[in-house]
Structure 1
């Protein structure tokens, strides 16, 4: 198969766009201080965090009831 200049330029542009998306995601993580800002970033970690927050709220409610 012949490799044309268009194929090469398309691949280069694709790689640049992929790199820019990765840089933007890392910048977002650095600026916010959070690795997971949206559930779509890492669904498993987001679910665990949600479960932990739910359990924390339950324990806080229990503590208020005891006091």
Structure 2
């Protein structure tokens, strides 16, 4: 039973950390200018393997209706 609790608790903590990281990235990206967002987007080399920060940039560009 303790092992099951530990597995569930660990998974929950990992999920919470991921969500906190995503929210932190989104907050930082929201402060960028349109030109900065576009420059970061243009520097994404592999769109299949993007970081949370790069995903936050794409999300912010979509939110602002920027063409890319």
The alignment's TM-score, normalised by the length of structure 1, stands at: 0.50
The structure richer in helix per residue is 1
Structure showing greater relative contact order (alpha-carbon pairs closer than 8 Å, 6 or more residues apart): 2
Structure number with larger C-alpha Rg? 1
The alignment's TM-score, normalised by the length of structure 2, stands at: 0.49
